[in-house]
Structure 1
């Protein structure tokens, strides 16, 4: 059943779109749809800077031309340029948190039909969190139930991607299926077919989204988070690669079943990061630790060691960053984000800011240590070289430079950063071996504490500082009652609190 609007009121539509999602295209389609069907249409937009690729608020008002006719003359309506609080009929969002932000900004009320996608573009704060910093999507749905008249949602981004299009086309289909505008499905399709590129893909995306929302209205679906915790793939029986078959055989022969899937994932991660030999070194460390673990405990400690040892051995350094920026998978992701075709040229502007520690960490151990301790060289670096750099990584010289640096895996094992990380890992393993016979659960929490070490630069320094404080406190107090519960609490607190001083304060309070 179509919604009936007051004759004296325009239809008010707000769209919150993240950069690259085709918000301008969708706004143009809605405007043309209205004008082709006897409506006066006006739209405005205000670009914002979100913590992702920039978010824009588009606002559209539609008014029937027949209501503007008086004595044979057309009266020009006076329409608003921005959505007013509690006065939006249709609210669309290309991403889940933008839907939540629309409620926060007061756009949504009991007259509002919300149409939004459940996909996520993670904000900076979510990415930089030492643990799982992904915001709780359940809260968004609690708010939509409370504040909106009706909510229609699904992973519209996935529908568009499957059809080789961008989310504007699937969101347009969802709008058509919602029956919130007085237009027919055929009218929407005519607008898409009237011009532009990728018409077939856009129409296919539109139709799939239309059917999805039609089914949704007939049988509403519960919210299902699109960002689920990563699951380890089960170890295969065999591989096409003889070298990988060696790894598979070794894991199945020497590692308990409870740990095999994690060890397999970790080994693959380290092959990609460094080499097959490096992955074998990882497996030897895991097997060495299994000897002191308890089968009665289900090898819970070895599972956590295998998980975070792989993370620790695949640390972020300049070589890793350069490699990530020049991978084909990254190029594919960028093309998908901006909706570009394979034969189109996309220039990528990257932000680089290597700190003094990253530069000295790239040097040989002795030279790196000497320069890292030198205040003279640190001051020189901070004065002349410690600057923000923006680099077009798709330009020939810049790409070759990054590609060459990303290929220096053989050099990585000779660097100061590698030397320091291996020292950290070995001492971490020894601490767990030291306490495992005294307090098994404490050893598990020490394994979990490696979650705090992440990234590089300031992020790494904060995480490493918290990691070191927690491990020191655990060892010094390993004999006190409930120490494992205290460490678990401190780790959770440290993961959620950005400030290192806050973690130190909590440790001091616990004594």
Structure 2
């Protein structure tokens, strides 16, 4: 019984569990199946044994029919025995790289799958036997899990299990119950634990920690997402942030601190908490905290725009030189010459000037039509002492940034966008998320930045602002306009979408006026 996905057509739902030996994966699968059956639904569970020495997890596959048994009548349900990539609704992984493995194998998809996983590591055999440091990059695995899933509930469940004095399977069950990914009352999950009859008290303690964490409540075992970031970037106090959003918020805070200073990171967190407060008021927990996640993600990008100071900083970092040596396969003892090809224009130069001076100079050049001719090609040898010191001198000019023309421009744009996100969300949750995502149009520098800014302003003035003023949900219109702008950077596709939207809006107003 597996009709095509879409609309209100009932179908089977798929749950895949990946657990390591000794973590009670089989008990977890039994608990889930018992809870589903107690809720009056048909369920089938199968398992595929893993292999020894941590080269793979044992997987448990469950399918249930979303039609209650008492409504099936004479109809019969056919369940599959094994999972199909792209056809899994809930993926549960007891360890971070197992979650990444599920993503790599196609069992986690952005349009469908809720991923519930622990962020701790149990090292695989291939990691242990490497001659040097063979560990997988945990930050990359975590990023892939968040980016490629529909919703990700990830925190250190092993630490929570230790706190509760139980096994990690109880915490995983609680996170599943708290996520709302299954249409099952939490009492059925608790009853499943009690029906097991072993270690009930400890299991229920772990279950409650997982449940609370998935609902966005504070638990003592919750880690800070920034622990996996580049050393020296700082970590944020994220105990009050829902677990689904901690990865994004932690990275955003670390990025803001790295970009400017700790006070700038605090300013970022202050705005995120304002967004989170609204998200909580709008029942964001039941929506995967999408408003907070997308708002925090794009706020971090907006607050860390690329300017000449940032470019010089990134180009002279030790990890950048190491990356260049790795890409060019430079051997130990070999000399590597690096030439930076830069072509700053007048706008890039004015970016670090005081606002009035920068505005006057740009206005003077634009009034004479010579702005685009004032580009200077520079070849800087960053591998030499003089070239490196020149770049570092520019990088260390970040103290000028807050008083610069570009900072004033970006701050005004960010404030306008952020207030629109809040206002749109109060009209309609999805509308707020769409406005948050619209910030992706403004990126890069030079002509790319100007085109993006032009497209964003057009979208903002013609679609977002009127919809907020009329208190009309416009999530689909904003998303369609954003896709058109991304598909055609020159703006012709966006102009066509805006023209159709304006015509439809005017027609609607005439019809309302006539009916009145």
TM-score when scaled to structure 2? Answer: 0.50
Pair 1:427 & 2:427 matched: no
**SS of residue in 1 equivalent to 2:492:** helix
CA contact (8 A) 1:365 1:414 kept: yes
Distance 1:469 1:269 in 2: 29
CA gap of 1:245–1:510, structure 2 versus 1, over 3 A, is closer
Distance 1:262 1:230 in 2: 9
Aligned position for 2:223: 236
CA contact (8 A) 2:339 2:382 kept: yes
Distance 2:474 2:260 in 1: 37
Aligned position for 1:49: none
Q: CA deviation at 1:360?
A: 0.9
Pair 1:395 & 2:384 matched: yes
Distance 2:376 2:270 in 1: 42
Task: Map 1:118-129; keep pairs closer than 5 Å.
Answer: none
CA gap of 1:244–1:402, structure 2 versus 1, over 3 A, is closer
Aligned position for 2:309: 319
CA gap of 1:240–1:316, structure 2 versus 1, over 3 A, is closer
CA contact (8 A) 1:371 1:377 kept: no
Q: CA deviation at 1:465?
A: 1.4
Q: CA deviation at 1:287?
A: 0.9
Aligned position for 1:467: 456
Distance 2:424 2:455 in 1: 20
Aligned position for 1:61: none
Aligned position for 1:23: none
Q: CA deviation at 1:370?
A: 1.4
TM-score when scaled to structure 1? Answer: 0.51
Q: 1:267 aligns with which of 248, 253, 260?
A: 253
**SS of residue in 2 equivalent to 1:437:** helix
Contiguous gaps of at least 5 residues in structure 1:
1-137, 139-158, 165-224
Distance 1:435 1:482 in 2: 8
Residue deviations 1:354-401, cap 9 Å, x none? 122111111111211111211379766655x41333332222222211
Pair 1:436 & 2:425 matched: yes
Q: CA deviation at 1:240?
A: 12
Distance 2:497 2:311 in 1: 34
CA gap of 1:467–1:432, structure 2 versus 1, over 3 A, is same
Aligned position for 1:95: none
Q: CA deviation at 1:410?
A: 1.2
Contiguous gaps of at least 5 residues in structure 2:
1-105, 107-126, 133-140, 156-221, 503-516
CA contact (8 A) 2:434 2:479 kept: yes
Q: CA deviation at 1:426?
A: 0.8
Aligned residues: 291
Task: Map 1:176-325; keep pairs closer than 5 Å.
Answer: 231=147, 236=223, 248-249=236-237, 251-253=238-240, 255-293=241-279, 294-298=281-285, 299-325=289-315
Q: CA deviation at 1:422?
A: 0.8
Aligned position for 2:202: none
Q: CA deviation at 1:316?
A: 0.2
CA contact (8 A) 2:298 2:439 kept: yes
Distance 2:234 2:372 in 1: 48
CA contact (8 A) 2:382 2:388 kept: yes
Q: CA deviation at 1:335?
A: 0.6
Q: CA deviation at 1:239?
A: 6.3
Q: 1:358 aligns with which of 344, 348, 360?
A: 348
Pair 1:332 & 2:322 matched: yes
Distance 2:428 2:342 in 1: 44
Aligned position for 1:453: 442
Aligned position for 1:341: 331
Aligned position for 2:491: 500
**SS of residue in 1 equivalent to 2:322:** helix
Q: CA deviation at 1:428?
A: 0.9
Of structures 1 and 2, the larger Rg is shown by 1
Q: CA deviation at 1:454?
A: 1.2
**SS of residue in 2 equivalent to 1:390:** strand
CA gap of 1:239–1:389, structure 2 versus 1, over 3 A, is closer
Q: CA deviation at 1:163?
A: 8.9
CA gap of 1:325–1:494, structure 2 versus 1, over 3 A, is same
**SS of residue in 1 equivalent to 2:426:** coil
CA gap of 1:380–1:466, structure 2 versus 1, over 3 A, is closer
